[in-house]
Structure 1
Amino acid sequence: MSSEAPDDIPDVAQRVKNVRIEDEMEQSYIDYAMSVIAGRALPDVRDGLKPVHRRILYAMHEMGVTSNTSHRKSSSIVGETMGDYHPHGDGPIYDTLVRMAQPFSMRYPLVDGQGNFGSMDGDPAAAMRYTEARMAPIAEEMLEDIEKDTVDFSANYDDRLTEPDVLPAAVPNLLLNGSSGIAVGMSTNIPPHNLGEIIDATTHLIENPDAAVEDLMQHVKGPDFPTGANIVGKDSIYSAYSTGRGRLRVRAEYEVDREENRIVITEIPFQENKSRMVERIADDVNEGTLEGISDLRDESDRNGVRVVIELKRGANVDVVENRLLESHLESTFGVINLALVDGQPKVLTLKETLQHYVEHRREVVRRRSEYDLAEAEDRAHILEGRLRALDIVDDVVAVIRNSEDRNEAKEALRGEIDPDELDGDHEVDPNVTLGFSQAQADHIVRMQLGSLTSMESQEIEEEYEGVQAEIERLETILGSAEELDAVIKDELQAIKEEYDDDRRTSILEAEGEVTHEDLIPEEDNIVVITEDDYIKRMPVENFDPQGRGGKGIIGADPKEGDRVSKVFRANSHDYLLCFTNQGQVYRLKTYEIPEMSRTARGKSAINLIDLDEGEEITAVVDTDEFEDEESITMVTRDGYVKRTAAAEFENILSTGIIAAKLEDDDALVDVEVTDGTKDLVIATEDGMTIRFDEDEVRKMGRNARGVRGIDLQDDDKVAAMVATDDADDRALFTVTRNGYGKRTLLGEYRAQSRYGMGLIDIKTNERNGPVASAKAVTEDDQLVIMSERGQIMRIRAGEVSQVGRNTMGVTIMELEGDDQVASVTVVPADAGADQDDADEE
């Protein structure tokens, strides 16, 4: 044998790459880490499942182990899953199956287990050969329509089968059951939630894509653990939902029985080992670090948790309770809302989590509709062939009988063979054109003679009409995003009706918890808004009362070309509904408006509320005044009036909602809260007023325009509206643009029918100018009047003498140059009195 190497052997050394070992180790570790992250440890945001959970459910689906079949041995399910989809050992698969069946681990268990599946005391489940399982009904919702090409499939580990990349997930499982897992360099810990709350929030987000986390939290109160207990503090929940991370303090539910001198624990924090908790309490008692306890018993059974702590005679119950809270009855749940988005790990807010789920459902419903449409069109095509065959049944039968075999019959039905060329003796009408399609010909040849009866023909026609209706419905869904979203909402609502249950976890206020709002003093503020949407607030005490006819003091310093458009009073802790000229309404907390000096311009309102171009706040309502039976009554510049139930304004988005539908160049002018017993008084710029019963304006939805309230003459416009009743001893305080005004008892304005011309309230002329505002006041109420240039004046209503209707009025505020009154607000007598007392002190 020759020792020389053959010439055709390549130089191996030339194929060796020199690589720095640090770089190779780094890249290899990154590849390994991403494999663990994406392939094992983290859930997908769309269906909320890790691969092992998804594979177990899909294996059960393929095995036919559904909620309405008998239970199957767990070892069989584990074996099928491991053999076909998850070759990582039977232990992890069974552990996952067990957890999906534990009602204390899953808020909505996906597996219905039979046998010993462990306990809250940390007892392990029996071996898989002893337990049985099947799908829970809600798990079938996760797999609904998977056979309709709704999701993508990939090859399994040995390329022998395919498995879904994600489940269709008709329920937002990631938030319903939560998830926990440790990957390489990151971990996830998502708490479970209540199904009804999550579905309501999802529906709200579909209807209002611009909804903020605060809007969604009006539906999702917080996590809802399967073991109940309590979450202490709301700020931590908001932090978790708005950032994706947070620390929740979870407290056991217990009762203090002072008569029996004992404490009974009925619910424990999520993922707490009850047996270990009892042991720790007992150890502390034995070591003397926890005094006052005479006996400790675990009386828990299948009906729930019951741990009884008997106290010694004379023991201080409050002291023992506090020691238990410090050491044993509270735990921390660290929220890390980390999930896979397009295969990449991402920390998500509550809104982002729901957005990704909604997008997934849109894709599923779209693909399902396309699949169903194709099926329906195929069926319609077959039925069209059958109906046509029935119309020419004699010729079809003759062609088939004349044919030598089935293939020749199909060719003749398709028109590929002239019926006259067939060898049979049966006559075929030469004027009949066959021309059936391949699918139709195949079906006709297989038809039975019994299907030629008139009854069968009628059934075919009815089925064809039904299929055509289904095709039209599916085309509508695929052609309209609104219709597709409506399908998603209807399906979510159906699931809610089927599976919704009561919340188990209560949300408690944290004792001694100091929030940002607690640090803000409660005080009356004057809020100023300009036409260019600059806004600020100032304490009322900054403006001392003056006599009528004064100039006032500087209350704002608008920039060149800008003017004050609105001034109103509000308590710093009030929730305000801000109505705009364009018929939108926004919700705002007064303290969110920056407090500034009298000479400051203010801050752009766009930082607080999402005002559009040319949109201005024209009326403000304090939501603390709402009662269930009350209405929001609105009036527009063109004299339209509408009433809408106050309940329709409970959930307002940060981007606002429609309060009234406006047409042409109309604008919303004023708003009052009414209770069905009031009269409405509408004042116009030309000094006219009309008074009528509010019941003449029926209640209507937010999108309605309303009905006519006053018959405006010439170019007159509505300036203001007040609500009154027969017992009202208040007066109508009318202020004009040029700073004149008057005070007249509301009783002098007799009631009329809606949509009349009204009565003269104040004479408007070159001296007075048009009416700027009208307010209902008592003699001791104070008015804050502000001019367009920022002058502000505070005056007691009683400073202006009470006069009758149809008078000129007197000077209220002295204005300089071409300055005019912009807006008027009322400081009620009780608020003014409190402030005067403070001023005297």
Structure 2
Amino acid sequence: MAEGEKLIPINIDDEMKSAYIDYSMSVIVSRALPDVRDGLKPVHRRVLFGMYELGVRSTSAHKKSARIVGEVLGKYHPHGDTSVYDSMVRMAQEWSLRYMLVDGQGNFGSIDGDSPAAMRYTEARMRKIADDMLADIDKDTVDHQLNFDDTLKEPKVLPTRIPNLLVNGASGIAVGMATNMPPHNLTEVVDGTIAYIENNEITIDELITHIKAPDFPTGGIIYGYDGVKEAFHTGRGRVVMRAKASFEEVQGRECIIVTEIPYQINKADMIKKTADLVNDKKIEGISTIRDESDRNGMRIVYILKRDAIPNIVLNTLYKYTSLQSSFSVNNIALVNGRPQMLNVKEMIHYFVEHRHEVVVRRTTFELKKAEDRAHILEGLIIASDNIDEVIKIIRASSNGDEARDNLMERFKLSEIQAKAIVEMRLRQLTGLEQDKLRSEYEEILKTIEDLKDILARKERRMQIIKDELQEVKEKYGDERRSEINFAGGDLSMEDMIPDEQVVITISHAGYIKRTPLSEYKTQNRGGVGQKASSTRNEDFLEHLFVGTNHQYMLFFTQKGKCFWMRVYEIPEGSKSSKGRAIQNLISIENGDSVKAFICTQDLKDEEYVNSHYVIMATKKGIVKKTLLEQYSRPRQNGINAISIREDDELLEAKLTTGTSEIFLGLKSGKAIRFEESKTRPMGRNASGVRGITLQSENDEVIGMVSVHNFEEEILVVSENGYGKRSSIDDYRVTNRGGKGVKTISITDKTGGLVAIKNVSDADDLMIINKSGIAIRMSVEDLRVMGRATQGVRLINIKGNDSIAAVAKVMKDEDAVDDTDINELDVNPENGTALDNTETETEE
């Protein structure tokens, strides 16, 4: 130890503690957490400010990334070049930032986790939106601080017009705390901010009507709403994200197509891990996975095995792979240099407060500048009014300083004014220039008055903030990318989706869709109508219901299962779209198919479900009536609607109030009519009671009709193309279980009965042959005859062909419009508007 040096003993515990606290605070305050005002961490702020200082704006040419990184590193950021370049790269990646701040040229990495090219190969410049984050920075709008070596000044915060913390989010790990903020949609955030400015007492629930949920750059689906709501209210929550998937048939194979994946998921990793799970037999039903993504967008194709059920495979993928992941919201940001947990209203409050300060400081700066200019103009106007004397004084002076002093003394001018007069050019003595001087002076006086008014009135400042936000929304606002699936959580869709009327259409081949009623605009009678659906050539619309978004659809399958779906869960399609195959919407097992549909009102309404029944019929003549209440608790994989015997299958299901009359038709040409009240209600698992006695071993029920409108007729069709309609009164009411009465005279010529329908003159018939030919005819062309006749030939059957199915459809289905829809049969028993069409019956 050198002589004269003193050793100071220090307790190592205390030294470690104070050093670590200093380090922690440095990480928290100047590295890992964003500022609540501009939503940026120091490194991002320095990159943008460095680009601004370098002149690499959105309107200039791109500059080498290494040049920008060097500028930021040498002037403002005392850390490694990698941290600067990585931050700049992230601001240029469309899958990382909802609204990119940097416009990159070259390889900036990919969503598969590929690294960007080295900074010597890439180029960058600011985007227009980044210009708006730095707008007015030269007008003393924000405080500056010295850089790391005290030679330059850098801004403590940017005067941003963009609510960047909300729109782009942030994530960072500090010491003892972390932040993870999701991005949101700019249009929604601006609307919410304006709503807050107009009413500072606005509640978070009211704000949620504007800012609905996070909006991720990669799109996808937000599944469930509870986590979103909790995050908005408390600043913490868990948002479940799902990939956007659809089902397609590719080269005859069912495929799951994924076009959007959850935020911050590495696509290549996800596909590799899924392939490993498939190889390990953890996920069944997938034969191949192909990544067909290209410059037009993402497309991951999961090709399914032939016996796989698409819905079940997709749910398995959601369960075991990153197709479903969660975003843990943790809104911690720096407020006045201190970390704080923030809810959505507080974030908006601090942003508005910051904008208010920027507007005040900008206005003060502009006012001072305007007053200084006005002061000079006053001097110049005095000089131009006394120009001869001014010239004389200047000529008589020996130098500029003396001229200035003499002018100040003679005209009582300030030093600045006198200096401006001395430096005045001769051309300013022309008449035109003098007029310009006076008009500029008048203009600037108005500006000063306006700026003083802004500083005097808070409502004007708030209006300016609103106007600037509106401008930002018009420039950069866009549609939401992430859909919200409210059904995934406890909060139901009713809270968010209006209960508007919709038209549900189901085609003969089993394609379903819902269309807003407003799409069917009213036409006058005699109009040509509008094409209602682009179903396949051999397909046609068979069922049409008018319901509301909050109603329920029940699907009954031939094996006796019942599936349940809210109307709003049915995929929306335009009038001309084909819709989606029903088997892709419900987890229906192989070999089963949907046979009947019921559209009901609220299944949570006790009075409603306890006063309505579902009546079912099977091929072997069994009928069963069950209270609707039994179907009000659904399960993902369906519930038993009826116990079906081995050699039997469900044929029909109808909704009634217990007062209908039931018709059952047999292949052998007999039909029975009995009162529904003759069938007692049974539980879901019961197999039912005899509805009609079959005539022989090969006989079977071909259809059931539930009649509430006794003005209709009964129409029957045989397999060789004969048919007729008879009055309902021709069929006497008998007891359930009887043999029935003759409904059509069956001979070798007519073939067995294939269909029984309740019809009126307003209906059309669609007859489909086994060869695939479909013929449409009007019911009113068929005259009413006695029930024991063999009927008339409806169509000519060639060779061994026969009728496979008969469906009742609306007349002029291509011209479905408001007028038609409002005149659909409204079932007086249950109030559900539907057209009472029957499901097809395969012979």
- Measured at CA, do residues 130 and 474 of structure 1 come closer, stay the same or move farther in structure 2, by a change above 3 Å? same
Per the alignment, residue 301 of structure 1 pairs with: 294
Whole-angstrom CA distance in 1 between matches of 2:360 and 2:84: 33
Q: Which moved more, 1:330-339 or 1:287-296?
A: 287-296
- Measured at CA, do residues 373 and 265 of structure 1 come closer, stay the same or move farther in structure 2, by a change above 3 Å? same
Whole-angstrom CA distance in 1 between matches of 2:265 and 2:287: 24
What is the letter of the counterpart of residue 366 of structure 2?
A: D
Whole-angstrom CA distance in 1 between matches of 2:447 and 2:411: 28
The percentage of aligned residue pairs carrying the same residue is: 53
**1:486 equivalent among 453, 463, 469:** 463
Per the alignment, residue 191 of structure 1 pairs with: 182
Whole-angstrom CA distance in 1 between matches of 2:288 and 2:441: 76
Question: Does 2:139 align with 1:113?
Answer: no
TM-score, scaled to structure 1: 0.57
Cα shift at 1:335: 0.3
Per the alignment, residue 157 of structure 1 pairs with: 148
Whole-angstrom CA distance in 2 between matches of 1:413 and 1:327: 87
Question: Does 2:275 align with 1:282?
Answer: yes
Whole-angstrom CA distance in 2 between matches of 1:190 and 1:100: 16
Question: Does 2:403 align with 1:409?
Answer: yes
Per the alignment, residue 45 of structure 1 pairs with: 36
SS at match of 2:411: coil
**2:255 equivalent among 262, 278, 285:** 262
Whole-angstrom CA distance in 1 between matches of 2:237 and 2:377: 59
Per the alignment, residue 330 of structure 1 pairs with: 324
Structure 2 stretches lacking a partner, 5+ long: 496-549, 551-829, 831-843
Per the alignment, residue 427 of structure 2 pairs with: 450
Cα shift at 1:516: 13
Per the alignment, residue 364 of structure 1 pairs with: 358
What is the letter of the counterpart of residue 477 of structure 2?
A: D
Question: Does 2:341 align with 1:347?
Answer: yes
What is the letter of the counterpart of residue 131 of structure 1?
A: T
Answer yes or no: is the 8 Å Cα contact 2:223–2:489 preserved in 1.
Answer: no
Whole-angstrom CA distance in 2 between matches of 1:504 and 1:512: 20
Whole-angstrom CA distance in 2 between matches of 1:88 and 1:499: 33
**2:164 equivalent among 173, 185, 190:** 173
Question: Does 2:490 align with 1:513?
Answer: yes
Cα shift at 1:517: 10
Per the alignment, residue 378 of structure 2 pairs with: 384
Per the alignment, residue 272 of structure 1 pairs with: 265
**1:91 equivalent among 67, 78, 82:** 82
Per the alignment, residue 690 of structure 1 pairs with: none
Per the alignment, residue 238 of structure 2 pairs with: 247
Cα shift at 1:22: 2.9
What is the letter of the counterpart of residue 394 of structure 2?
A: I
Cα shift at 1:514: 6.4
What is the letter of the counterpart of residue 96 of structure 1?
A: S
Whole-angstrom CA distance in 1 between matches of 2:494 and 2:186: 31
**2:441 equivalent among 455, 464, 482:** 464
SS at match of 1:223: coil
- Measured at CA, do residues 210 and 444 of structure 1 come closer, stay the same or move farther in structure 2, by a change above 3 Å? same
Cα shift at 1:317: 1.4
Cα shift at 1:138: 0.6
Query: Any idea what the Cα deviations from partners look like across 1:606-643, whole Å, max 9, x if unmatched?
Result: xxxxxxxxxxxxxxxxxxxxxxxxxxxxxxxxxxxxxx
Whole-angstrom CA distance in 1 between matches of 2:110 and 2:440: 53
Cα shift at 1:515: 7.2
Per the alignment, residue 762 of structure 1 pairs with: none
Whole-angstrom CA distance in 2 between matches of 1:435 and 1:79: 53
Whole-angstrom CA distance in 1 between matches of 2:489 and 2:48: 46
C-alpha RMSD of matched pairs (Å): 2.1
Whole-angstrom CA distance in 2 between matches of 1:241 and 1:134: 34
Answer yes or no: is the 8 Å Cα contact 2:486–2:492 preserved in 1.
Answer: no
Cα shift at 1:255: 0.8
Whole-angstrom CA distance in 2 between matches of 1:517 and 1:346: 34
Whole-angstrom CA distance in 2 between matches of 1:500 and 1:206: 19
Q: Which moved more, 1:26-35 or 1:165-174?
A: 26-35
Query: Any idea what the Cα deviations from partners look like across 1:129-180, whole Å, max 9, x if unmatched?
Result: 0000001111111111111111111110011111111111111111111000
Query: Any idea what the Cα deviations from partners look like across 1:404-425, whole Å, max 9, x if unmatched?
Result: 221121111101xxxxxxxxxx
Per the alignment, residue 197 of structure 2 pairs with: 206
Cα shift at 1:480: 1.1
Number of aligned positions between the proteins: 494
Whole-angstrom CA distance in 2 between matches of 1:512 and 1:400: 84
Per the alignment, residue 667 of structure 1 pairs with: none
Whole-angstrom CA distance in 1 between matches of 2:277 and 2:270: 11
Whole-angstrom CA distance in 1 between matches of 2:493 and 2:289: 41
**2:216 equivalent among 218, 221, 225:** 225
Whole-angstrom CA distance in 1 between matches of 2:318 and 2:288: 18
SS at match of 1:510: helix
Cα shift at 1:460: 1.2
What is the letter of the counterpart of residue 343 of structure 1?
A: G
Whole-angstrom CA distance in 1 between matches of 2:144 and 2:9: 37
Answer yes or no: is the 8 Å Cα contact 2:225–2:489 preserved in 1.
Answer: no
**2:114 equivalent among 96, 111, 123:** 123
Answer yes or no: is the 8 Å Cα contact 2:236–2:329 preserved in 1.
Answer: yes
Structure 2 counterparts to residues 27-106 of structure 1, below 5 A: 27-106=18-97
Whole-angstrom CA distance in 2 between matches of 1:448 and 1:30: 63
Structure 1 stretches lacking a partner, 5+ long: 416-432, 519-572, 574-833, 835-841
Per the alignment, residue 148 of structure 1 pairs with: 139
SS at match of 1:249: strand
Whole-angstrom CA distance in 1 between matches of 2:311 and 2:402: 95
Structure 2 counterparts to residues 519-558 of structure 1, below 5 A: none
SS at match of 1:101: coil
Question: Does 2:134 align with 1:138?
Answer: no
Cα shift at 1:513: 3.0
SS at match of 2:314: helix
TM-score, scaled to structure 2: 0.57
SS at match of 2:38: coil
Per the alignment, residue 681 of structure 2 pairs with: none
Query: Any idea what the Cα deviations from partners look like across 1:321-351, whole Å, max 9, x if unmatched?
Result: 1111112210010000000111111110001
SS at match of 1:378: helix
What is the letter of the counterpart of residue 110 of structure 2?
A: S
**1:25 equivalent among 13, 16, 21:** 16
Whole-angstrom CA distance in 2 between matches of 1:308 and 1:461: 73
Per the alignment, residue 566 of structure 2 pairs with: none
Whole-angstrom CA distance in 2 between matches of 1:303 and 1:249: 27
Whole-angstrom CA distance in 1 between matches of 2:394 and 2:433: 20
Answer yes or no: is the 8 Å Cα contact 2:286–2:305 preserved in 1.
Answer: yes
SS at match of 2:464: helix
